[in-house]
Amino acid sequence: MENIRFLDTTLRDGEQTPGVALTKEDKLAIARKLDELGVHIIEAGSAITSEGERESIRAIAAEGLSADICSYCRIMQPDIDYALACDVDSIHLVAPVSDLHIRVKLKKDREAVMQMAIETTEYARDHGLIVELSGEDASRADLDFLKSIYQAGIEAGAERLCFCDTVGMLIPEKTEAIFKDLAASLKIPVSIHCHDDFGLGTANTVAALRAGAGEAHVTINGIGERAGNTSLEEVVMILEWLYKYDTGIKTTELFKTSRLVSRLTGIPVAPNKSLVGGNAFSHEAGIHVHGLLADTSTYEPIRPEILGRERKIVMGKHAGKSSVSLAIKEMGYDIQDSHLNEILKRVKELGDFGKHVTDADLQSIAETVLNIQCNSRVKLEDFTVVSGNRVTPTASVKLKVDGQEVVQAGIGDGPVDATIQCIKKAVAGVGDIQLEEYHVDAITGGTDALVEVLVKLSKDGRMITSRGTRTDIIMASVEAMLNGINRLIQAESSDRIKE
């Protein structure tokens, strides 16, 4: 592999993704970022499409970028005239080469297509454009005819050629054989342009480059028609890290570019997308996080910083002590093993309910657990709540107060109120505790949101704010009440000792 170049067609083939329409400002922003990455050729669009498209292409061409600015053209003179009016450096001149496309789409024969390709190549060259002559649907074309049209294009002045796997029919073995043949029989560079209909776009592109292709057509995030095109970030990182080839691409900007294109096109990147997906450097399983703490290469093929990314530790049912401990320490908390075990238990409980634990969830859980004292005088044994349209909300609670079992029942305006009234009656023996304020927040959105209950309790003029964090609002309320009660009792005991 030598002198490999990249033609990025995010702004042309990528924009042909159903539902995507980029403004001139969007296209300029993406073009600038592609140029910063070090892409050699930017296919800025197809000048024949519309006046708005031409305005965008002209704006990109006038930007003074280092990359060669290119327009897609059919083998028709008006397409080339429109491209010339946009002041582009080169054209991607596409000639249908499979008998299916020639007969069905163009309703012509091979000789007519050959003549059209020669004439338009000559016309473009006579007007100062660099021509990359492309064989559309080349993977289903007769190889001898394809080579003859390439050879005619070279004689007409084409400086680059392109082999298009238009509907993703190539396999790596066939790609390698084809490009070894083309590289040996043709005197100018041949590009590879793949689509991902069978998920082989990247594999076929890399196979072509290893077999002698001089250029790869790619898009950011692999966007494009149907299943998309070959992904720039995948090809670059495969060449850089697996084949040790220096592409010249600024890899630390790949993730930012991916996010920019995703935002402007409105196409989200799949979480499991290689390299730039949200989960590519996220870890949940405890054994993996434990290995990462010892050496990040245990479960990461490359460091996320290479792509301009950061590592993420995700909390869920697969989390282990290592991941929870690391995340808690990053929040600035110093925790004991007893606290860690309780936090881990709650994280796993949420995971078992199918919930992803966010940073905000974890912080709330940690703050709740850290406020629960190990020597609590009031502990929950059990509680039951009955409520409904025609039923007065009723609750019963069983607590251990100073080691003695206490059972209370009561009613309220709702299930939460009924439960709180029961708790207040059950702890009456240790003091008259008043609920001054009650507040509920959902930490995250959705019907399965983690609920944080804040209560303000008072006893003999002393005021304490406490919290409870659960997916169940009643359980969160019970936790907040008992946490606050125990802290009030402990504070009172501390005052007595000082006296």
pLDDT digits (tens, 9 = 90+) for 364-388: 677 777 765 545 788 888 989 998 8
- Letter for the amino acid at 38? G
183's CB contacts (< 8 A; 6+ apart) are 190, 211, 212, 213
Distance between start and end Cα atoms, the chain:
83
Query: Is it the case that residue 153 has pLDDT exceeding 60?
Result: yes
pLDDT of 317: 63
Distances (CA, A) of 40 to 22, 77, 217, 275: 22, 26, 11, 22
Name which of 90-99, 299-308, 490-499 the model is least confident about: 490-499
CA distance 435 to 326: 36
pLDDT of 32: 98
pLDDT of 374: 47
Query: Is it the case that residue 410 has pLDDT exceeding 50?
Result: yes
Query: Is it the case that residue 48 has pLDDT exceeding 80?
Result: yes
pTM over 0.85? The answer is no
Q: Which residues pair with 383 in a beta bridge?
A: 397
Does domain 5-265 fall into CATH 3.20.20.70? yes
467 versus 459: the higher-pLDDT residue is: 459
Query: Is it the case that residue 301 has pLDDT exceeding 60?
Result: yes
Other beta carbons less than 10 A from residue 16's beta carbon: 16
Domain ranges of the chain: 5-265, 282-371, 378-498
CATH number of the domain located at residue range(s) 378-498 in this protein: 3.30.160.270
Distances (CA, A) of 251 to 15, 36, 228: 23, 10, 22
Q: Which residues pair with 441 in a beta bridge?
A: 452
The rounded mean pLDDT for the chain is: 88
